[in-house]
Structure 1
Amino acid sequence: MNRTSLPESLGIEKFEIVRDEDAIRIAHNWLAAFCPSRTSFKGIFRFKTYMWDIMDCDLQNEEATQEYNKHEAPKYIIMEDCFGQDEKIVYVVSQKPTSNEHLQDFHIFPKNLAWSMAFTHEDGWIGPKFSKHNSYEKLNKKNNKAVEAMRRNYV
């Protein structure tokens, strides 16, 4: 089956695919940070059940989008909401998705998990949802410093 990857469907051409055990580790770290009531993705099925529906959430809808737009990181992870259903993969990108015009269910977060944005097929009603890590201040400060260092190196 030759289907379009999640980043490509979001208009992102350059991405790295992380597979199998490395992807599982990333997904479980995300799960521990943003869905601590769950220990696995078992029972999450595309178009039937959703991780974004049970994840901890700080902001929703327009407030979530505004907060998301303020955040930057050197790299981002894109993960399908139903992680592992088809393949155990996540994507690493430098370009942060800016919209969800196809109303897909996915999560975007920096590599250090400072925050997470859940885009949903119900964006504008229930989503998107923005969540902060318990150590958000410290982690986000590291992201900001890394982004500033990258900018200084490009000047």
Structure 2
Amino acid sequence: MEVHRKRGDIDQLHLLKDYTQKEAAEWADAWLSIYGRAGRGVNTKSYLWHVFSAGRYPCLSGPAAVARYVAQVGMQFVVLSNDRNHAVLTDQLPDAEAVWSDYYVFPPNLAWTMALTHEAGWLGPYFAQHPDHARLDEENLRQVQKAREIEAARSKGWLG
């Protein structure tokens, strides 16, 4: 499946890593191990987000999903294409309409995920949380706080 690019292309993100095709497939497997567990009988070969549209995993959709997504904080985010052949790591939360036509955004610990679909407005976008979201999100927030503390120390000349 071809990757369809949209405005706000991936080149506009600050990329920390461009994953290999094998690594992208590993991210897809990790994503499915959490969000796709109850996906039996759902065609996730075509679109991973079918687990949400089929009601197999609890999620928010539409404007509620976008509102929750834009409220997320973190140090790093994985952006995975639906074809499972492309993935990047960025330190910016991608715009909810910016990267590929069908893609997934999540922190490396998979605390939550945003599935952006080519069917937006009809099916999706979808926002879902890991079953252990509270602990994982706290982990992400600690990383952000630590980075802020380091930056504050640098600005005061305490760190080189």
Runs of 4+ in structure 1 deviating by more than 4 angstroms, as ranges, are 3-8
Aligned sequence identity (%): 23
Residue of structure 1 in register with 2:92 after alignment? 95
Amino acid at match of 2:66: T
Alpha-carbon distance between aligned partners in 1 of 2:97 and 2:79, rounded to the nearest angstrom? 13
Residue of structure 1 in register with 2:34 after alignment? 33
How much has 1:119 moved relative to structure 2?
Answer: 0.6
How much has 1:66 moved relative to structure 2?
Answer: 0.8
Alpha-carbon distance between aligned partners in 1 of 2:37 and 2:63, rounded to the nearest angstrom? 25
Residue of structure 1 in register with 2:19 after alignment? 18
Normalised by the length of structure 2, the TM-score is: 0.77
Normalised by the length of structure 1, the TM-score is: 0.79
Shift of the 7–110 alpha-carbon distance from structure 1 to 2, 3 Å rule, reads farther
> What SS does structure 2 have at the residue aligned with 1:54?
helix
**What pairs up with 1:1-155 in 2 under 5 angstroms?**
9-10=9-10, 11-38=12-39, 44=45, 49-55=46-52, 56-83=57-84, 88-100=85-97, 104-155=101-152
> What SS does structure 2 have at the residue aligned with 1:82?
coil
8 Å contact kept, 1:116–1:132: yes
Specify every segment of 5 or more residues in structure 2 that has no aligned partner in the other structure, as ranges: 153-160
Q: CA RMSD in A?
A: 2.7
How much has 1:9 moved relative to structure 2?
Answer: 1.3
Shift of the 65–8 alpha-carbon distance from structure 1 to 2, 3 Å rule, reads closer
Specify every segment of 5 or more residues in structure 1 that has no aligned partner in the other structure, as ranges: none
How many residues align? The count is 143
Shift of the 102–28 alpha-carbon distance from structure 1 to 2, 3 Å rule, reads closer
